[in-house]
Amino acid sequence: MAQKISLTRYLVEQQRADGLIPGQLRLLLEVVARACKSISQAVNKGALGGVLGSAESENVQGEIQKKLDIIANEVLIEANEWGGHLAAMASEEMDSIHLVPNRYPQGEYLLLFDPLDGSSNIDVNVSIGTIFSVLRKPENGHGQGVQESDFLQAGSKQVAAGYCIYGPQTTLVLTVGNGVAMFTLDREQGSFMLTQEDIKIPADTKEFAINMSNMRHWDAPVKRYIDECLAGKEGPRGKDFNMRWIASMVADVHRILMRGGVFMYPWDKREPEKAGKLRLMYEANPMSWLVEQAGGAATNGRQRILDIAPTKLHERVAVVLGSKNEVERVTGYHDPL
Ligand code: P6P
């Protein structure tokens, strides 16, 4: 059997080969991977570790935090503060950005993350995950320290993006702009080992992922698309479709990277002032870059997600991503921008 390559070796070889991974970025990615291993261990303990259930607190999104949300957030903050590769961090679980303390050297990167996506699934033992996105710290003219405005960069400016899914396997999926690679945690060695690279999403699919209970709240183009899928062979699509909804974006996106599909969390009229449910900076942007790097597409129904100019750190966005031809069809049903 071919010798498995560790994440460390993969990053070193990528750094040598194409210079896409400067030393500081390689260090950052290895630190994030180590933090994900710690989170995986906490998740795997479950009730035995006393980490299930609510933390009896709310996050900036107004959502009740789970104990593991807070644990995962703390693990990522502590792991990344001292290394000298970061200037600041932003998290779904924190209202404002977290500056690297002055007692540590400041780095050139900004790290954003959803420390534990899919929290509603934690207590029922369904796959959850960590999503992360890396930006360069801009050379700001203000001469002061990092500010929230420094994070407000379009998704096309990311230099690395990935997620770690805590499921039957603990798997890290990563892009630095030259395709998508997958690493599976070898618990005996304690290392992430390369198990797939150059992942490609089929352009066509027969599988869609959406929370159907929201159907009566959707806009007409989304309802048209889903109705056509449900009409099956006898309908305008001329083929039957299957549906999946795990209510954990990491798990739904991972399935799409592995076998194709289209994932949708569209705008709906329950809270019309919100562009969507999912967050742009640390959910939609990293997932959209991964999907595009794997040959898929990602829009908000009208515009490429990676082109959206953010205005707020915790900004929400509608998401349609996955198999290119399906995303283009859904987007085509919407009015052009
Ligand atoms: P709903 C998890 O809370 C999350 O942010 C995504 O991971 C997931 O796709 C979505 O929300 C599920 O939302 O409304 O179906 O519970």
Instruction: Determine contact, residues 244/255, Cβ cutoff 8 Å.
Output: yes
CB < 8 Å & 24+ apart, contacts of 91-95 = 91/115, 91/282, 92/59, 92/60, 92/61, 92/117, 92/279, 92/282, 92/283, 92/314, 93/59, 93/60, 93/65, 93/69, 94/59, 94/60, 95/60
Instruction: Determine contact, residues 157/306, Cβ cutoff 8 Å.
Output: no
For residues 183 and 35, what is the distance between their CA atoms, to the nearest angstrom? 15
Q: Ligand 1: which residue has its CA nearest to atom 1? A: 247
CATH 3.40.190.80 residue ranges in the chain?
Answer: 207-334
For residues 248 and 116, what is the distance between their CA atoms, to the nearest angstrom? 10
**Distance in Å, CA 39 to ligand 1 centroid:** 20
Angle between helices 23-45 and 67-81 (to 10 degrees): 150
Pocket probe for ligand 1: among 217, 278, 279, 281, the residue whose CB has the most ligand atoms within 8 Å is: 278
For residues 285 and 287, what is the distance between their CA atoms, to the nearest angstrom? 6
CATH number of 207-334: 3.40.190.80
**Tokens describing residue 88:** 């600041």
**Distance in Å, CA 247 to ligand 1 centroid:** 5
Strand order of the β-sheet with 128-136 is 98-99, 86-91, 109-117, 128-136, 160-166, 170-175, 180-186, 191-197
Instruction: Please give the pLDDT value at position 2.
Output: 61
For residues 169 and 187, what is the distance between their CA atoms, to the nearest angstrom? 10
CATH 3.30.540.10 residue ranges in the chain?
Answer: 7-196
Chain center to CA of 249: 8
Q: Ligand 1: which residue has its CA nearest to atom 11? A: 247
Nearest partner of 296 among 204, 166, 221, 184, judged by Cα: 204
Q: Does domain 7-196 have CATH number 3.90.650.10?
A: no
Instruction: Determine contact, residues 200/179, Cβ cutoff 8 Å.
Output: no
Residues with CB under 6 A from ligand 1: 117-120, 211, 247-249, 265, 277-278
Q: What is the pLDDT along the chain (337 residues), one digit of tens a residue?
A: 567 899 999 999 988 888 779 999 999 999 999 999 999 999 999 888 888 888 888 887 778 888 899 999 999 999 999 999 999 999 999 999 999 999 999 999 999 999 999 988 989 999 999 999 999 999 876 667 899 999 999 999 999 999 999 999 999 999 999 999 999 999 999 999 999 999 999 999 999 999 999 999 999 999 999 999 999 999 999 999 999 999 999 999 999 999 999 999 999 999 999 999 999 999 999 999 999 999 999 999 999 999 999 999 999 999 999 999 999 999 999 987 6
Instruction: Please give the pLDDT value at position 143.
Output: 67
Mark residue 103 as left, alpha or beta (left: phi above 0; alpha: psi -120 to 50; beta: remaining).
alpha
Q: Ligand 1: which residue has its CA nearest to atom 3? A: 118
Pocket probe for ligand 1: among 65, 66, 114, 117, the residue whose CB has the most ligand atoms within 8 Å is: 117
Pocket probe for ligand 1: among 60, 246, 249, 274, the residue whose CB has the most ligand atoms within 8 Å is: 249
**Distance in Å, CA 11 to ligand 1 centroid:** 31
Is the pTM above the cut of 0.85? yes
